[in-house]
Amino acid sequence: MLTLRTGTTEDLQQLAAWETDPDTSIWLGEIGPAWHTRALDDPDQDHLVAVEAGTPIGFAVLAGLSSADRSIELRRMVVRPARRHAGRGRALLRAALTRAYQRHTARRVWLDVKAHNDRARALYESEGFTVTDTVKGAVIEADGTVGDLLIMVHQTLEGAELAGRRDGA
Ligand SMILES: CC(C)(COP(=O)(O)OP(=O)(O)OC[C@H]1O[C@@H](n2cnc3c(N)ncnc32)[C@H](O)[C@@H]1OP(=O)(O)O)[C@@H](O)C(=O)NCCC(=O)NCCS
């Protein structure tokens, strides 16, 4: 079973190493320990390590915890390269969403994803995210290729009901 725990400085080298995998780094912006250190030190972010049978198998970072409209960003999500294609990405996404709605009382969860990241898009869409905006030309790859960034929002009926109950609606 996959569980989430708060990340620590001891995790950083390992998480940063997963990011350097070529099939990971191309989907992310800045990578490396400094990015994680800033996330860990920022009270507005929740840096989470996914653990299975005592072994870290991925991580997720939520941001915007103190946003006035309780709109929380799933800023990054990565499954350890050797552990992919076995349902762990879906389990990690569900755990991160539960954390956002229940712990951080999110009204909605949003993210951005490169338009050609078919794998992540398929996962997000199958879990209830919809594309709400396209930022044309927002991505410039290392080889100079220009691509689009999609904004996706998760706002399920269940999430809205949870938020409504909390607000006394
Ligand atoms: C995206 C990522 C988290 C998915 O993790 P995973 O463990 O491979 O995913 P799962 O095995 O849970 O698969 C979940 C779904 O992803 C989709 N998917 C997986 N591989 C796919 C592929 N090659 N093409 C299209 N969709 C794919 C499917 O919808 C799949 O569901 P299904 O198996 O029921 O059809 C992982 O591949 C990863 O860390 N990628 C690099 C970083 C990244 O892109 N992060 C997201 C942007 S920040």
Per-residue pLDDT, 169: 46
Label the pairing between strands 2-6 and 45-52.
antiparallel
Atom of ligand 1 nearest to the CA of 76: 48
CA atoms within 13 A of residue 126's CA, in its CB half-sphere: 12
Q: From the CA of 84, how far away is ligand 1's center (Å)?
A: 7
pLDDT of residue 65: 97
For residue 78, which atom of ligand 1 is closest to its CA? Answer: 39
Which residue is closest in CA terms to ligand 1's atom 36?
A: 79
Is 77 near ligand 1, meaning CB less than 6 Å away?
Answer: yes
pLDDT digit string, tens, across residues 1-28: 999 999 999 999 999 999 999 999 999 9
Task: Write out the DSSP string of 89-134.
Answer: HHHHHHHHHHIIIIIS--SEEEEEEETT-HHHHHHHHHTTEEEEEE
In single-letter form, the type of residue at position 121 comes to: R
- Residue range 134-165, pLDDT digits in tens: 999 999 988 889 999 999 999 766 655 655 55
Taking residues 49-64, what's their average pLDDT?
Answer: 98
What's the CA-to-centroid distance between 71 and ligand 1, angstroms?
Answer: 24
Residue 122 Cβ < 6 Å to ligand 1: yes
pLDDT (average), residues 117-122: 98
Q: Does the predicted TM-score (pTM) go above 0.85?
A: yes
Domains (ranges, CATH) in the chain?
A: 2-167 (3.40.630.30)
CB of 88 closer than 6 A to ligand 1? yes
pLDDT of 142 reads 83
What is the per-residue pLDDT across 58-101, written as a single tens digit (0 to 9) for each?
A: 999 999 999 999 999 999 999 999 999 999 999 999 999 999 99
> Does the beta carbon of 117 lie inside 6 Å of ligand 1?
yes
Task: Say yes or no: CB of residue 86 within 6 Å of ligand 1.
Answer: yes
